[in-house]
Amino acid sequence: MRHLITPMDLSVEETMNILDLAERISIGPQLYKHVADGRQLATLFYEPSTRTRLSFESAMLSLGGQTLGFSSAAQSSASKGETVADTARVVSCYADIIAMRHPKEGAPLQASIYSRIPIINAGDGGHAHPTQTLIDMMTIRQRKGKLNNLTIGFCGDLKFGRTVHSLVSSLTRFSDNKFYFISPEELRIPDYLRDDVLNPSNSTYEEVSSLEDTLPKLDVLYMTRVQKERFFNEEEYLRLKDVYILDEEKLKLADKDMPVLHPLPRVDEISLDVDDDPRAAYFDQVQNGKYIRMALIMALLGITDPVTGRTVLD
């Protein structure tokens, strides 16, 4: 049995196989509409979500399976003090696979120790968001045709932005990528990303503060929201939340083929006038989210791809 807690739980080959399966699903989703007949997905969301929870549910329904779950801790027995470990044991009796979001870093890992069914981390605190990483990689590959030899700028809240941490970790395994981390001093990448991921992989990176100066150098721009819910101090949040706002005027500084990604939700960091720019890729990411989660459910449940006759993971 396999779980997905961080993107590094998948080898590069397995990652590419999941991206390829998601592409096949996007071309012919009707070929997959009964592959999970009789299987059940539990969505255990202790923290708010629109895209991740609904796309997981839509994915399972589109594969012929069913869903159950809760969308806030208050709706579950966590509100009475039940532990994540006990909840994982209990839900293992009801479903075939679990997608879990939790505000505490490490909660899905803890669940995986006690679960009898695969656990997918749907975002844990400021730590990781591996399914978003697969979506981001699918979108970058669609736009740039590759995942290596790219100069990628990450802008905004790089301290708490778990999608950034996960995507950077995964992209360090592809050759010749260069990273620009664009943030205020207070929202720099966490030490562990520098010390345990970037430096050991000999990655090339720079930490900078000017979006305008960096834009002309980029092949890909990844914008992020300043994560209000992770701040202890409201004043600090208000001071930092609008430091970077991407608009059409600033985009004139960028390459005409530089896709703009954002995991969403956005607040003010991408102005609405960017939505009509062909470089805006964030709604492609939303659509890819459903295909990636269909592919991932198939992979972790060991479901054979009717097109290739093979499963994705050994």
Chain residues in the site for ligand CP (CB under 6 A): 49-52, 123, 132, 263-265
276 and 9 Cβ atoms separated by less than 8 Å = no
In the complex with ligand CP, which residue's Cβ is closer, 42 or 198?
42
Q: Which of 3, 39, 129, 262 is catalytic?
A: 129
110 assigned to a ligand binding site: no
Q: How far apart are CA 37 and CA 33, in angstroms?
A: 8
State the nearest-atom distance from the C-beta of 28 to ligand CP, in Å: 26
132 assigned to a ligand binding site: yes
Known catalytic residue: 51?
A: yes
139 assigned to a ligand binding site: no
Q: Which of 3, 39, 53, 101 is catalytic?
A: 101
Known catalytic residue: 15?
A: no
Known catalytic residue: 52?
A: yes
State the nearest-atom distance from the C-beta of 16 to ligand CP, in Å: 22
Alpha-carbon torsion (210, 225, 162, 107), positive or negative: positive
- The 3-state DSSP composition of the chain as helix, strand, coil percent (nearest 5) reads 45, 15, 40
Known catalytic residue: 80?
A: yes
State the nearest-atom distance from the C-beta of 39 to ligand CP, in Å: 22
Q: How far apart are CA 30 and CA 185, in angstroms?
A: 48
In the complex with ligand CP, which residue's Cβ is closer, 108 or 205?
108
Q: How far apart are CA 152 and CA 248, in angstroms?
A: 19
264 assigned to a ligand binding site: yes
Q: Which of 15, 43, 52, 131 is catalytic?
A: 52
**What are 7's two structure tokens?**
């993107």
State the nearest-atom distance from the C-beta of 20 to ligand CP, in Å: 22
DSSP string, 121-180: EEEETTTB-HHHHHHHHHHHHHHHS-SSS-EEEEES-TTT-HHHHHHHHHHTTSTT-EEE
6 assigned to a ligand binding site: no
102 assigned to a ligand binding site: no
Known catalytic residue: 34?
A: no
Helix (H) or strand (E) holding 44: strand 40-45
Q: Which of 39, 51, 165, 290 is catalytic?
A: 51
Q: State the number of CA atoms in the 13 A half-sphere of 213 facing the CB.
A: 9
State the nearest-atom distance from the C-beta of 87 to ligand CP, in Å: 20
**What are 307's two structure tokens?**
């097109």
Residues at the binding site for carbamoyl phosphate are 51-52, 101, 129, 132, 264-265
Residue numbers annotated as active site: 51-52, 80, 101, 129
Residues at the binding site are 51-52, 80, 101, 129, 132, 162, 225, 264-265
Residues at the binding site for L-aspartate are 80, 162, 225
